[in-house]
């Protein structure tokens, strides 16, 4: 399902607070599993360029766009950061 259809569906949601976050996370998972090929920061950045992502109104749609924004940034650390973090935990 394309990001526009997911956001359109979330815009119809009356969920607020935790329920809005849950709906947004479900939308994010739907987007991830529906995307062709691998999904990474570049795909999240491309999804954020969608007109529907430019001005979300409902809490669920805003949360979804926020998760996409996080995904567009969070995947830049690479494996090196995980190794260093693991070393600090031991």
Mean pLDDT of 14-25: 96
Contact status, residue 43 vs residue 85, Cβ threshold 8 Å: no
Distance CA 39, CA 32 (A): 6
Provide the domain limits for residue 17.
3-89
pTM of the model: 0.79
| pLDDT tens string 42-88 | 899 999 999 999 999 999 999 999 999 999 986 555 554 444 444 54
pLDDT computed for residue 10 by the predictor:
96
Identify the H or E element spanning 79: helix 78-89
Total domains, the chain: 1
Distance CA 80, CA 30 (A): 29
């Amino acid at each position: 399902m394309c990001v526009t259809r997911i956001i359109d569906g979330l815009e119809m949601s009356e969920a607020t607070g935790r329920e809005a976050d849950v709906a947004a996370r479900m939308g994010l998972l739907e987007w991830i599993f529906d995307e062709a090929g691998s999904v990474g920061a570049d795909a999240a950045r491309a999804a954020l360029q969608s007109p529907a992502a430019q001005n979300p109104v409902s809490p669920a749609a805003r949360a979804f766009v926020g998760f996409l924004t996080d995904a567009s940034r969070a995947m830049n650390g690479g494996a090196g950061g995980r190794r260093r973090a693991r070393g600090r935990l031991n």
